[in-house]
């Protein structure tokens, strides 16, 4: 089934309104997610759980209201979508976090199976260094 701009836009609206859980229901449990760069979140993740724990959950502890992303451009061809976004999040120390993202997603039957994500490595490094020192690394219940 070919993916449409409207389908991708509706899916990504969940990330802009803080409803990341709804977005991630459309991501395969065995997704292959590569975060490019030279920062603490960069790497290859072979499951949704591993990706979320190592990236979104870590960032959610140091960003007020968690990771909030606003889509700026969507390009679609067959089962591939390229989505450009900006962060509208604020850090624990009160600074805006204007990171930019480009995710290249491959869909299978409407489910995200593969992602290559590009971010500003310097801003990721900076937000972690400035805000993670006083936070706990474990998940609180």
User: What are 70's strand-pairing partners?
Assistant: 86
The secondary structure of residue 53, as a DSSP letter, is I
Phi then psi for 136, rounded to 5 degrees?
-80, 145
Q: What is the per-residue pLDDT across 80-134, written as a single tens digit (0 to 9) for each? A: 999 999 998 899 889 998 999 999 999 999 999 999 999 999 999 999 998 887 5
How many CB atoms neighbour CB 107 within 10 A?
22
Q: What is the per-residue pLDDT across 10-55, written as a single tens digit (0 to 9) for each? A: 999 999 987 888 999 999 999 999 999 999 999 999 999 999 999 9
CA atoms of 100 and 19, how far apart (whole Å): 19
The secondary structure of residue 65, as a DSSP letter, is T
Contact call for residues 31 and 115 (beta carbons, < 8 A): yes
pLDDT at 140 over 50: no
Model pTM?
0.88
Domains of the chain: 5-131 (3.10.450.50)
């Amino acid at each position: 089934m070919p993916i449409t701009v409207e389908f991708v836009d509706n899916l990504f609206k969940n990330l802009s309104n803080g409803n990341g859980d709804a977005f991630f229901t459309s991501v395969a449990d065995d997704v292959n997610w590569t975060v490019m760069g030279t920062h603490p979140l960069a790497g290859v993740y072979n499951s949704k759980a591993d990706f979320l724990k190592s990236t979104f959950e870590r960032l959610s502890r140091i960003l007020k209201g968690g990771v909030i992303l606003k889509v700026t451009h969507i390009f679609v061809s067959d089962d591939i979508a390229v989505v450009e976004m900006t962060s509208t999040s604020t850090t624990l120390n009160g600074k805006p976090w204007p990171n930019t993202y480009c995710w290249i997603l491959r869909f299978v039957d409407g489910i995200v199976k593969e992602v290559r994500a590009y971010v500003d490595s310097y801003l990721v490094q900076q937000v972690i260094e400035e805000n993670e020192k006083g936070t706990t690394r474990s998940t609180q219940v």
